[in-house]
Amino acid sequence: MKGKSAKILKDGLWANNPIFVQVLGICSTLAVTNNVRNTLIMAAGVTFATALGSLTLSAIKGLIPRKVRMIVQVLVLSFYVILVDIVLRAYAPAVSKQLGPYVGLIITNCILMGRAEAFAAANPPWPSFVDGLANGLGYGLVLLCIAVVREFLGFGSVLGIRLVGDWFTPWTIMIMAPSAFFLVALALWGAKSYNARAEARRKAASAAARPAPSGAAK
Amino acid sequence: MPDAPAISPLVLFLASVLTSNILLSNFLGTCSFISISKDWKSSFGLGLAVTLVIGLCAAICWAVLYLVVIPLGIEYLSFVVFIIVIAAVVQVLEMVIDRFSPALYLSLGIFLPLITVNCAVLGAVLFMQIRKYDFVQSVAFGFGSGAGWWLAIMLLAAIRKRIENNPVPAGLKGTGITLITIGFMAMAFIGFSGMIAVQ
């Protein structure tokens, strides 16, 4: 059980990362990442909704008629998003205002539906919860990397703390829309190339290992 | 009724097509944008469907929000209400198109179910709520956002057709190069931003 959970966790974080591999949830990835604090909150919200949404949907999957499955999934997920929204409004009104519609848009974040459909619909509650958690965290991790670059280059700060002196000219483009697309593309490029190289190395290793035993048999 | 910002619906329409394009400056609807824009014809169909759905949903959600949800004091449920309205609009639109124009249904039908979870629709509705547009402004904003999305996906589909035959680094093939293309399109659209200012 424990080993299985660990594998699901690793899958969500890297091997099957929602952004790099599944290319899901790009919309909100881009919108909130010009500021590290907002990104952290957004990632926490997505993780919370994905994990608990997957848990709930997996627990009640026997009760949902197939025909209305999608709408039930969306409704369950939107209840968790409402919770996130209410908590944010109560405890972090400034952030809630800055995020604006993007909190509500967690509902249509494809990661939530994607995990509900691809994993929770066919697995028991506990692994579904871990899967949701892992995907949320994997998503948050990528978001965070992008946000750190964007906030640092765009404002010269990270988490609102100024890291460089007045000599630094902020790259205004970094806080505007296009840079988000470029950075996600670069991150994707890096991840894909790394995976391709690892794959090639593994293949070379297994190819090198194979002839030896057959040669010994002769 | 909301205290709407003073902005003419026509200006709002143009602004939501060009200066604050829902896709290129607000990033909404990127997922289906990337997966569908491989093909010019599908892009046209999806764009048309999205425009219709956003326009209708903006109008209906406005009515539901100010005539039902707010008088009843259940604003905290507005996300759920919007999602239900969107799903219902998509479902009804699908049935109506099927009934009256089977030809259109064949070209549009497969895209309609996808739209329920297209964040551009919910995004436009939420913007409408947050910016407190009045009814006419909401309709203009809805159709404008849809048209902007449509324009963007058609442009991207045409560009992707050209990219297909070019040598792209292996790791960037597919999504990567598409994202970079969208980035350049977004930069080009920033050029419009001096024309009209909208929140």
Considering only CB atoms, B183 lies closest to which of A85, A104, A181, namely: A181
Q: Has residue A215 got a pLDDT over 50?
A: no
**A196 and B27 in contact by Cβ < 8 A?**
no
Q: Is A127 within 8 Å of A51 (Cβ atoms)?
A: no
How many Å apart are CA B27 and CA B19, to the nearest integer? 13
Considering only CB atoms, A78 lies closest to which of B79, B169, B170, namely: B79
> Which residues in chain B are contacts of A86 at CB distance < 8 A?
76
pLDDT of res. B198: 61
Q: Is A117 within 8 Å of A134 (Cβ atoms)?
A: no
**B183 and A178 in contact by Cβ < 8 A?**
yes
**A74 and B116 in contact by Cβ < 8 A?**
yes
Segment B22-30 shows an average pLDDT of: 79
- B92 and A CB contact within 8 Å: no
Q: Which residues of B64-98 are buried (b: 16+ CB within 10 A; e: fewer)?
A: bbbeebeeeeeeeebbbbbbbbbbebbeebbeebe
User: Cα distance from A87 to chain B (closest Cα, Å)?
Assistant: 12
How many Å apart are CA A187 and CA A139, to the nearest integer? 13
How many Å apart are CA A161 and CA B4, to the nearest integer? 37
Count of positions (residues) in chain B: 199
Half-sphere exposure of residue B150: CA atoms within 13 angstroms, side-chain side: 21
**A27 and B29 in contact by Cβ < 8 A?**
yes
Q: Is B31 within 8 Å of B156 (Cβ atoms)?
A: no
How many Å apart are CA B36 and CA B41, to the nearest integer? 10
Q: Could you tell me where the beta strands, DSSP code E, fall in B39-190? A: none
Every domain of chain A and the residues it spans: 2-211
How many Å apart are CA A18 and CA A16, to the nearest integer? 6
User: Cα distance from A82 to chain B (closest Cα, Å)?
Assistant: 7
User: Cα distance from B126 to chain A (closest Cα, Å)?
Assistant: 5
Residue A171 phi, psi dihedral angles, 5° rounding = -85, 95
**A78 and B83 in contact by Cβ < 8 A?**
yes
Average pLDDT, chain A: 80
- B197 and A CB contact within 8 Å: no
> Which residues in chain B are contacts of A188 at CB distance < 8 A?
171-172, 175-176, 179
The 10s digit of each residue's pLDDT in A27-46 is 766 777 778 888 888 889 88
The 10s digit of each residue's pLDDT in A72-100 is 888 888 899 999 999 988 988 888 888 87
Considering only CB atoms, B76 lies closest to which of A82, A179, A184, namely: A82
Chain A, chain B: beta-carbon pairs less than 8 Å apart: 128
pLDDT of res. B61: 92
**A182 and B172 in contact by Cβ < 8 A?**
no
Q: Has residue B19 got a pLDDT over 50?
A: yes
pLDDT bin (cut points 50, 70, 90) of residue B147 is: very high
pLDDT of res. B5: 76
User: Cα distance from B163 to chain A (closest Cα, Å)?
Assistant: 15
Name the residue type at position A50. Answer: T
Window 39-68 of B, Cβ < 8 Å to A: none
Share of chain A above pLDDT 90, in %: 3
Find how far residue A166's CA is from the centre of its chain: 34
- Does an H or E element contain A166, and which? none
A157 has which bridge partners? A162
User: Cα distance from B77 to chain A (closest Cα, Å)?
Assistant: 7
* Nearest to A144, CA basis, from A40, A12, A18, A26: A40
pTM: 0.81
How many Å apart are CA A84 and CA A44, to the nearest integer? 9
> Which residues in chain A are contacts of B122 at CB distance < 8 A?
101, 104-105, 107-108
What are the angstrom distances between the C-alpha of A176 and each of A42, A171, A173? 18, 10, 5
Every domain of chain B and the residues it spans: 9-194
The 10s digit of each residue's pLDDT in B104-120 is 777 666 677 777 767 88
How many Å apart are CA A138 and CA A45, to the nearest integer? 13
Q: Has residue A193 got a pLDDT over 70?
A: yes
How many Å apart are CA A43 and CA A129, to the nearest integer? 16
Segment A182-191 shows an average pLDDT of: 84
Segment A3-26 shows an average pLDDT of: 73
- B28 and A CB contact within 8 Å: yes
User: Which SS3 state, helix, strand or coil, does residue B116 take?
Assistant: coil
